[in-house]
Structure formats: structure tokens, C-alpha cells
């Protein structure tokens, strides 16, 4: 590391460059957030006249969302889909990852490689097949169809990250339980699940946050306005004919992001421990 000393002052240029890069990255990340928040407080309905520091800040856009739109209904639908999807994904992924991590059976490596290969293809490639499948099952325009697609589509990725975490848990713990007379289900529920709580939290949160921002899949599956999610409802609200509701759209986006940011901050240590430990063996 390069150091220069001028008149009893030592300059660590490497540290200075590091701080400059960090400051630039913070500005790049937080400037769009600050712009959206300020736009939601600016009077008017167009972003062209919005200022970073509003001259006459107002909460009128937030009031209109709750009184003149179905924003609360969209929020309720989204939370319903997100919670159920998160619960179903955790159950399916945990059992699948435990089986791949602890048991040796025919086709195990082929199945894991199949999961890996599936992740190489973009999800948009399967949209037509998903639509036809839901149509034949009579699940179009239903939250159940959306939940099944979300939960099933996340199994390969979630299985890989959870298996990596379970592989780091010593098998001697399970062997001691087997010696004491515990069965596979007892070991799974009473030993493995508590030890795997960090990665389970990661999977649960990832599957909870996914439906909060997704637009493409709800746009294909849902038709009735009463079934709209937040992303779909806000898009219809801002793109309606002759509509110019971008500042109100910004207000809706802030209300979506605010609780999610709080959850991330509260569970930051748990998320980091789950992701980092699963990456090492």
C-alpha cells in the first residue's frame, strides 16, 4: 500500500481511494431512492416538474392512493400471495435439500445437475407453457395458480443454497441422535431445522419479497381487477388512458419499499450468516 509523508502528515492513498469509491457507490444507490421519495411529496402529477427537495411538500398523493384507488386491496392480495408462497416454498425446499444433503440414492447427482441446468434458462422462456398449463388446470385468474408457479419455480435455486448450508452441519450431531433412538423425522424437525434457521430465513424472505415486485407473471395469470397485485395494480393505475399519475405511482412505490427495507435491516445479521455459511464447506 502506497503512503506519502509530507510535513509529518502520512497519506494512505489506498484508503482514500477506497473511501472515494464507497462514497460514489452510496450516491449511485441512494440518489434514485431520494428522487422517488421526493417525487412522491412533490405537488402535481408529472415527474418532469419534480425537485429533489420539494418546495411545497404534500402527502396528497398518499391520501389519493388510499381513498381513490384499490391500493389496500392490491396490498392485501400481494401479502396473501407472498406469505403463502413463502410458507410453501420453505416446506418443499427444506425437505428436498435435506434429502439431497443427507441421503444417498439413485439419480441424486442427475437431479442436482438438472436443478442447476434449469437455472441457466430465463424464466420468460416458460411463460407460454405456464399459461397453457394453468389454463388446462382451470387456475388462470386465481391466486392459487400464481402461488403454485412461484413456489415450484423457486425450488431448484433454493434447494442448492439450502443444501450448501446443510452440508456444513456436522453429521455427528445426527448420529448422536440416532444412537439415542431418534428417527429421521425427529432428527429433521428437532435438530436440523433449528440449526438451519438462518438459511430458512433467507429462503423465506426471498420467496416473500419476490411476489412483491413481480409484474410479468401476474400480468399473464391475473385478469380480474379484484385479483390484482401491487405491481399490476400500480402499473394499470399509471398507464391508464390519458392518465399522468407518476407522482402517485412514486408514492405507491415508497409504501411498498418501506416495510421491506425495515425487515431487511432487522434481519440483516441473520441473512448474512445464512448466505455466507452456506457458501463455505
Rounded Cα gap, residues 100 and 160, in angstroms: 9
Global model pTM greater than 0.85: no
State pLDDT tens for residues 61-73.
888 888 888 888 9
Rounded Cα gap, residues 182 and 79, in angstroms: 38
State pLDDT tens for residues 94-150.
988 888 888 888 888 888 888 888 777 777 777 888 888 898 989 888 999 999 999
Average pLDDT (39-57) is: 70
- Alpha helix segments (H runs only) across the chain: 13-41, 60-68, 71-102, 108-118, 127-136, 143-153, 155-166, 171-179, 184-187, 193-195, 197-213, 216-221, 230-239, 246-266, 268-278
Rounded Cα gap, residues 11 and 257, in angstroms: 41
Going by C-alpha positions, the residue among 267, 227, 208 that lies closest to residue 88 is 208
Measure the CA angle with vertex 91, ends 184 and 265; round to 5°: 120
Distances from the Cα of 90 to the Cα of 69, 78, 86, angstroms: 33, 18, 6
Angle between helix 143-153 and helix 197-213 axes, rounded to 10 deg: 130
Residues 40/251, Cβ–Cβ less than 8 Å: yes
State pLDDT tens for residues 176-231.
888 878 777 888 888 888 888 888 888 888 888 888 888 888 988 898 888 999 88
Size (the chain), residues: 281
Amino acid at each position: 500500500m502506497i503512503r506519502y509523508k509530507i510535513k509529518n502528515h502520512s497519506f494512505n492513498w489506498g484508503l482514500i481511494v477506497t473511501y472515494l469509491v464507497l462514497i460514489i457507490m452510496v450516491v449511485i444507490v441512494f440518489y434514485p431512492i431520494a428522487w422517488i421519495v421526493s417525487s412522491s411529496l412533490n405537488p402535481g402529477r408529472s415527474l418532469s416538474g419534480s425537485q429533489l427537495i420539494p418546495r411545497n411538500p404534500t402527502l396528497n398523493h398518499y391520501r389519493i392512493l388510499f381513498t381513490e384507488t384499490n391500493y389496500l386491496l392490491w396490498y392485501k392480495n400481494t401479502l396473501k400471495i407472498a406469505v403463502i408462497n413463502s410458507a410453501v416454498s420453505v416446506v418443499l425446499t427444506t425437505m428436498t435439500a435435506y434429502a439431497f444433503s443427507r441421503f444417498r440414492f439413485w439419480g441424486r447427482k442427475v437431479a442436482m445437475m438438472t436443478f442447476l441446468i434449469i437455472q441457466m434458462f430465463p424464466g420468460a422462456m416458460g411463460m407460454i407453457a405456464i399459461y397453457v398449463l394453468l389454463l388446462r388446470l382451470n387456475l388462470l385468474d386465481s391466486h392459487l395458480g400464481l402461488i403454485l408457479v412461484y413456489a415450484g419455480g423457486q425450488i431448484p435455486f433454493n434447494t442448492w443454497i439450502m443444501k450448501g448450508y446443510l452440508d456444513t452441519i456436522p453429521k455427528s450431531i445426527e448420529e448422536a441422535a440416532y444412537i439415542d433412538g431418534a428417527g429421521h423425522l425427529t432428527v429433521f424437525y428437532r435438530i436440523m431445522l433449528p440449526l438451519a434457521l438462518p438459511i430458512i430465513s433467507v429462503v423465506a424472505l426471498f420467496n416473500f419479497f419476490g411476489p412483491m415486485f413481480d409484474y410479468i407473471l401476474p400480468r399473464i395469470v391475473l385478469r380480474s381487477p379484484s385479483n390484482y397485485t401491487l405491481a399490476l395494480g400500480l402499473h394499470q393505475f399509471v398507464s391508464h388512458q390519458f392518465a399522468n399519475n407518476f407522482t402517485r405511482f412514486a408514492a405507491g412505490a415508497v409504501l411498498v419499499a418501506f416495510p421491506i427495507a425495515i425487515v431487511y435491516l432487522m434481519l440483516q445479521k441473520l441473512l448474512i450468516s445464512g448466505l455466507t455459511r452456506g457458501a463455505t464447506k
